[in-house]
Chains A and B, each alone.
Chain A
Amino acid sequence: MVRAKKSKTTLFLMELILVILIFSIASAICMQLFAKSSTLTRDSNRLDNSATISSNIFEIIKSNNGDLDILKKEYQLYDDNIIYFDDDFDNCNKENAVYKMIITTSSVKHLNTYNLNIVKGKDKIYSTEYKLAIKY
């Protein structure tokens, strides 16, 4: 009788431990998926914002026949053609910046090439290239 009771308790404990073990493994997998989902959402949001901002900046440059000076009217344009953005991708000053856009230009005859790179720290978030035929 003692053996039967003891065996029942042990069996119950074993069952519970086994269930917790399986649950822990499933939870660990779920947590990883949740984290990945969160990262993917953030990255897609970031890429979408970067693409919209890059397109906006090129439209502004294009409206002034390729001259970058016009950007100063809409954005705070720092030396070396750098524009800073905060976490919500709103234009901000250098001190509050999370992201920065570096605009590099090159010119071959009448064709200007604009490389727009958005970086966070040392990580490149988004990079695009636009070409514009300059009118003289």
Chain B
Amino acid sequence: MKIKKEHTIDIIFGLILFCVFAILALIVLMTGSNVYQKTVNQNDATFQSRTTINYINEKVHQCYHQGSVSVVSIENQPALCLIDNVNGENYCTYIYQDNNQLKEAYVDANQSVDLGYGSALLEIQDLKIEVLNENLIKLTMTSIDETTHDLYINTL
């Protein structure tokens, strides 16, 4: 019986083909993980920063009547005060920063409040509240990923 010698190229070709397959699999896997990581980071950033801005924006628009939005100070920390009238009684929603947290406190408008009173909404790095003119308030929020977002509120 004739024994035919196997060529080295047969093995090398198979190996090269397998290597190409392995490299391609790795590239697809890495691209997939990169895209996923990017999307997750983006979602986190959106949640951390824009959720806060959109939340405050909605909250302000909820009690939108003249004189209902003002800037007050709680323990030397600026806070947004949103007055709401319920059954003839005025209640105030304070939105402010305490350490690295955005907090909200809903209390009787005549009641004094301290920084620890509110419930934490989200983690933030910084919240600046500026009164630009008698009708306009500017909120600048820096989220924990250090992106900054501005929100302008008309108080008329």
Interface residues in chain A, defined as those with a beta carbon under 8 Å from any beta carbon in chain B: 1-2, 5-6, 9, 12-13, 16-17, 19-20, 23-24, 27, 30-31, 34, 37-38, 41, 45, 48, 52, 55-57, 59-60, 62-64, 73-74
How far in angstroms is the closest Cβ of chain A from B122?
16
Give the tally of cross-chain contacts (CB within 8 A): 83
- For the complex, give the distance between the alpha carbons of A63 and B132 in Å: 10
Q: In the complex the two chains form, is A5's CB within 8 Å of B152's CB? A: no
Contacts A52-B50, A56-B151, A63-B156 hold; do A41 and B42 have CB atoms under 8 A apart? yes
Q: Is B20 an interface residue (CB 8 A)?
A: yes
Chain B residues near A64: list those with CB within 8 A: 135
- For the complex, give the distance between the alpha carbons of A37 and B14 in Å: 35
Tell me the interface secondary structure of chain A in the complex. helix
Query: Of all chain A residues, which has the CB nearest B40?
Result: A41
Number of residues on chain B facing chain A (CB within 8 A)? 39
Q: Is B24 an interface residue (CB 8 A)?
A: yes
Contacts A20-B21, A41-B42 hold; do A59 and B53 have CB atoms under 8 A apart? no
Contacts A13-B14, A30-B32, A59-B152 hold; do A2 and B133 have CB atoms under 8 A apart? no
- Could you name 26 residue pairs across A and B whose Cβ atoms are closer than 8 Å? A2-B2, A5-B6, A9-B10, A16-B14, A16-B17, A16-B18, A19-B21, A23-B21, A23-B25, A38-B35, A38-B38, A38-B39, A45-B46, A48-B46, A48-B50, A52-B50, A52-B54, A52-B149, A56-B151, A56-B152, A59-B136, A59-B152, A63-B133, A63-B135, A63-B155, A74-B138
Interface residues in chain B, defined as those with a beta carbon under 8 Å from any beta carbon in chain A: 1-4, 6, 10, 13-14, 17-18, 20-21, 24-25, 28, 31-32, 35, 38-39, 42, 46, 50, 53-54, 57, 132-133, 135-136, 138, 149-156
- For the complex, give the distance between the alpha carbons of A13 and B6 in Å: 14
Besides A37-B39, A38-B39, A52-B53, 11 more A-B contacts (Cβ < 8 Å) are A1-B1, A16-B18, A17-B17, A30-B32, A34-B32, A45-B46, A48-B50, A56-B150, A63-B133, A63-B154, A74-B138
Chain B residues near A59: list those with CB within 8 A: 136, 152-154
- For the complex, give the distance between the alpha carbons of A12 and B3 in Å: 20
- For the complex, give the distance between the alpha carbons of A24 and B6 in Å: 30
Chain B residues near A17: list those with CB within 8 A: 17
- For the complex, give the distance between the alpha carbons of A62 and B150 in Å: 17
Query: Of all chain B residues, which has the CB nearest A89?
Result: B149
How far in angstroms is the closest Cβ of chain B from A110?
15
- For the complex, give the distance between the alpha carbons of A92 and B75 in Å: 37
